[in-house]
Chain A
């Protein structure tokens, strides 16, 4: 671990000032400290924001919900509003990490967590995300867990968060405070595909801080849920996952929100699947038809070709689980 300084701030203003001076924000530390131990991350200054007043879950005027950036994953997962209105969020959280990690990790940190690509985490390997221009070891290496969607010739690492998949499906927004004031970014725009700059992972300006995430209201009749497929039953990142929210009224699908995880360099919104669903009647045939579009544009690598079918099956299954088996 490289030497660093540590300060704890108690106001957002102090945090922003420290951030402007180049400090890295830390809250639960469940990703950052690991990466510092591996010398992947070498911040010179840590700014502990865990005392900032961003620990609340509030219902918005529009019937949505705001989840403070410092709400612990475990707390968000058991929040009554979250559980009642957005089971897909609660399930995504509960299927993440381990109980111990969920007790420490925050919502903001969860969104900011970095890829699990083994080459990114091994400083002796080339990695364009860690050392721009050094090359991508995963492309010609072992890439079973890597992305089939959204990759570039510079990076094929997946975004590991389950929560982010649910938030992508639900079309949440990220609220930021920064030296130049506050702004909001649609979740789909917040996390960036690697393109030519895989080291740039978020639409985040220097010194900016996530304050909360806002999830828009779903129709009251909506049902939602999250399915995570992985080699072992707990404490593992997704091979594939599907976040599904459907509003079915009068036997017809009125709205459909579907996103996939474990397959994209960012959480992958499945707009083509959603379009297949809206206005149609739930049926096993429909689920299969719609899921057939889940892997549109997939570019599998040497070891992750199985994810193409697995993704379709995952989406199909979760459409059935949420939408019923009529």
Chain B
């Protein structure tokens, strides 16, 4: 039997999805469900002075209009998990304060969605508004996060070459196709929610705290996610609104955010100003780098993300200083979006490296090779694996880097200037404690469960592959289930840690189950395997065989039937090392070719290549979905995506898919991904380093550097649009 792990298998849930049978959050059928529609504030800051619900309540089918005037006071017991930012989360419909444009100020519950929508448009809210503070520049900041090694200031002063640049990146929204949605059902003091979430445990804990009920009294169900990109990691206000409305109306209530509401009802990638100073010698060896960044957050929570690591460990830089300032504004709280922090930092750092390469006349790849560290310069730890050199070399060869004329604006194709750029990237290999349940039945089939999510990477499929190989079963005889808080707990489905953590727990569970079966067989006198040493037994084709005598063995079905056992079961687990002995990151080298019509200010990406050192690749077909998808997302981040805020009132001006531009198929050219063969045994038991984030880290600077190479013009602001190039 062929190994499942490593094979480019199609998704086990693919048919369910393409036939519309996979239930997303709003699709679950719950008897007697009523529909809740949220009314969003239309001022950016201030106070609600009155809510006239008369016309809304007069509409046929309307059950209730809940506002801060009549909502029950919710306990909002303090609750933290490591994904909840410091501060105090928004207490929804609890007072008259408006913190940001679009904040929920009422919810209408009705028998039908149409009645609820119409009535919601009739709720008349009066405000005492004030102009919100929205400008990142100049606003007071929270206590900065700082890091220093060596003496960056001194080293810059004596450096032969010094550069100083400021880069800006626009606010981006995740814009998953599936809208955030919640169905809430109370049974006495027990609450069940069908929710779009990447973290069942987080939603469960938060709801328990808000309503002050035991965690065990909350059940969260989320078998499928239609894209999330980080926006499902927190429990957002609408989930509480749904539970609150269900409690008030004594009905199950479904709340689905509208596309417009998705621009302020959930999170976003914050806007940044990121200043870099770097110094080095004429050969391009970096002696110093400073990072000063400002990024937005709300007034009630302090958002943080992985903005520090790249500046500390991507290059061998003896002197580094970092100051990252969180700027509280009258906005909703940002959240993690694919490659959070890293993607933005990579844009600044890898653009700066490209500027240095140009300044010195050194090839951009060569410049990076000259600054490769031997050990992690931040922690001093050895790298478990760091194969960035290989990524760069293979990428250069496969992309035809050597054919690139180094001089900017030197390649012309008709009306278009052609440019090629590259960037490096890395993302920390996150791992968290995870458990998994596994059962082997007398029918010779396996059921494996973990309270994980699958927002698109193919968790269903990859876990099935791990289990199938560990048990010697075919893919079709293994069923993997996820998405229910009654299942064993796992870490959040984010930060590229699901494969490493849940995968290792599934591996452990199935290893144990296999050992149980083998032990039963070799100790059973009626088994053909009786007396064989356990370590000499292998599993394949639904049963156990002697390694050197494959004709000798029996199936699981034969074993369990004979022993009169309906099934065997175990709980497996994985715990990350307490004291890391290695610095473990996944690495990327991204290459892009662009064509710029300089007269028309139009940039088109022609082709892209990513080369990744991500440890073992469990399924290259699923991996391609991740890598190519991130390139598409990166094209958006670099050339199109920009959440526009009206500075007068905080309104999100382009809160729809016609005005917030994401790439369409025509914008997505020839994309290719290459994964280095091998694995990282020090990362985790299954040797993976995480893929879903690192593939995004470096896409923006690769494209931006290509635009510079094409045009000779350095645009230090994302997205790069016509006005910057004309």
How many Å from the CB of B601 to the closest CB on chain A?
6
Contact present for B664 and A233 (CB under 8 Å): yes
Residue from A2, A124, A230, A305 having most chain B Cβ neighbours under 10 A: A124
Q: Is A314 an interface residue (CB 8 A)?
A: yes
Once A116-B658, A116-B659 are accepted as A-B contacts, the answer to whether A232 and B666 lie under 8 Å apart by CB is: yes
- Which residues of A have CB within 8 Å of B661? 231-232, 236
Is A124's CB under 8 angstroms from B117's CB?
no
In A297-324, the 8 Å CB interface with B consists of 305-306, 309-310, 313-314, 316-317
Q: In the complex, are the beta carbons of B654 and A317 less than 8 A apart?
A: no
A234 with B726: CB separation less than 8 A:
no
Chain B nearest CB from A145 CB (Å) reads 8
Chain B nearest CB from A304 CB (Å) reads 9
A118 to B658, CA, bound (A): 10
User: B442: shortest Cβ distance to chain A, in Å?
Assistant: 51
In the complex the two chains form, is B118's CB within 8 Å of A3's CB? Answer: yes
Asked if A84 is an interface residue, CB under 8 A from chain B, the answer is: no
> Total interface residues on B, using CB and 8 Å?
34
- Residues on A with C-beta less than 8 A from B604 are 233
- CB of A141 closer than 8 Å to a CB of B: yes
Asked if B118 and A1 sit within 8 Å, CB to CB, the answer is yes
Digit string of B596-616 for contact with A (CB within 8 Å is 1, else 0)? 000111101000000000000
Q: Does the CB pair A306–B653 fall under 8 Å?
A: no
The answer to whether the Cβ of B663 comes within 8 Å of any Cβ in the partner chain is yes
CA distance A250 to B626 in the complex (A): 58
A306 touching B722 in the complex, CB below 8 Å, given contacts A142-B644, A232-B640, A313-B600: yes
Q: Of A141, A235, A317, which one neighbours B648 at CB under 8 angstroms?
A: A141
Cβ 8 A contact of B600, one of A137, A144, A229, A234 = A229
Q: Are A141 and B640 in contact (CB under 8 A)?
A: no
**Quick check: B722 and A231 within 8 Å, CB to CB?**
yes
Instruction: Please tell me if A39 contacts chain B, counting CB pairs below 8 Å.
Output: yes
A137 to B649, CA, bound (A): 11
The B403-458 residues at the A interface (CB cut-off 8 A) are 415
Tell me whether chain A's interface is mostly helix, strand or loop, or mixed: loop
Q: Give the complex CA separation of A305 and B601 in angstroms.
A: 13
Assembly CA distance A230 to B639 (angstroms): 12
Is B21 part of the contact surface with A, judged by Cβ < 8 Å? no
A122 contacts partner chain B, Cβ-Cβ < 8 Å: yes
Residue of B nearest to A237 (CB): B658
Residue of A nearest to B415 (CB): A317
Interface residues of B in 636-652 (CB under 8 A from A): 639-640, 644, 646, 648, 651
A239 proximal to B (CB < 8 A): yes
Residues A124 and B42 in contact, CB atoms below 8 Å apart: yes
Kindly list chain B residues whose C-beta atoms are within 8 Å of the C-beta of A231.
Answer: 602, 639-640, 661, 721-722
**B723 neighbours in A (Cβ, 8 Å):** 144, 305-306
A125 at the interface (CB under 8 A from B): yes
Q: In the complex, are the beta carbons of A118 and B600 less than 8 A apart?
A: no
CA distance A239 to B721 in the complex (A): 11
Contact A234 to B118, CB < 8 A, known contacts A229-B722, A306-B723, A306-B726: no
Q: Nearest B residue to A320 by beta-carbon distance?
A: B415
B653 and A118: CB pair below 8 A?
yes
How many chain A residues have a CB neighbour from B under 8 Å?
Answer: 35
B contact face: mostly helix, strand, loop, or mixed = loop
Q: With an 8 A cutoff between CB atoms, is B667 at the interface? A: yes
Question: Which residues from chain A contact B722 at a C-beta distance below 8 Å?
Answer: 229, 231, 239, 306, 310
- B644: A residues at CB distance < 8 A: 142
B158 to chain A, nearest CB (A): 42
Contact of A229 among B602, B646, B664 (CB under 8 A): B602
* A1-B114, A309-B726, A313-B599 known; A118-B664 Cβ under 8 A: no
Contact A234 to B601, CB < 8 A, known contacts A118-B653, A118-B654: no
Say yes or no: is A251 at the interface (Cβ < 8 Å to chain B): no
Q: Is B551 an interface residue (CB 8 A)?
A: no
In the bound complex, residues from chain B placing their C-beta under 8 Å from that of A62 are none
B70 interface contact, C-beta 8 A:
no
Q: Which of B639, B659, B663, B665 has the most chain A CB atoms closer than 10 A to its own CB?
A: B659
A140 sits at the interface (CB 8 A): yes
Residue numbers in B under 8 Å from A118 (CB-CB): 653-654, 656, 659
In the assembled complex, the Cα of A144 lies from the Cα of B664 at a distance in Å of: 21
Distance from A324 Cβ to chain B, minimum over Cβ atoms (Å): 15
Please provide the chain A residues from 10 to 61 with a CB less than 8 Å away from any CB of chain B in the complex.
Answer: 39
Which residues of the partner chain B approach A309 to less than 8 Å between Cβ atoms?
726
Max count, chain A CB within 10 A of own CB: residue among B651, B653, B659: B653
Contacts of A116 in B (CB 8 A): 658-659
CA distance A125 to B661 in the complex (A): 21
Write out the residue numbers on chain B whose beta carbons fall within 8 Å of the beta carbon of A316.
599
State A237–B659 Cα separation when bound (angstroms).
Answer: 9
**What per-residue 1/0 map shows which CB atoms of A270-283 lie under 8 Å from chain B?**
00000000000000
Closest to A118 in B: B653
CB-CB contacts of B233-274 with A at 8 A, as 1s and 0s? 000000000000000000000000000100000000000000
Would you call A306 and B601 a contact (CB within 8 A)? yes
Contacting residue for B653 out of A140, A141, A232, CB 8 A = A141
Instruction: Known contacts A1-B117, A3-B118; decide if A233 and B721 are in contact (CB<8 Å).
Output: no
Residues 683-726 (chain B) with a chain A CB within 8 angstroms: 721-723, 726
Chain A hits for B664, CB < 8 A: 232-235
Given A124-B42, A125-B651, A142-B644 in contact, is the A232-B663 Cβ separation under 8 Å? yes
- B41 to chain A: closest residue by CB: A124
Q: Which residues of chain A have C-beta atoms less than 8 A from B602's C-beta? A: 229-231
Pick 15 A–B contacts, CB within 8 A, sort by A.
A1-B114, A122-B651, A122-B653, A122-B655, A142-B644, A142-B654, A231-B602, A231-B661, A232-B664, A234-B666, A306-B601, A309-B726, A313-B599, A316-B599, A317-B599
Closest 3 CB pairs of A and B: A233-B666, A124-B42, A306-B723
Q: A118-B659, A235-B666, A239-B722 are in contact. List 13 more A-B contacts (CB 8 A).
A: A1-B118, A2-B121, A116-B659, A122-B655, A125-B651, A144-B723, A232-B663, A232-B666, A233-B604, A306-B722, A310-B600, A313-B599, A313-B600
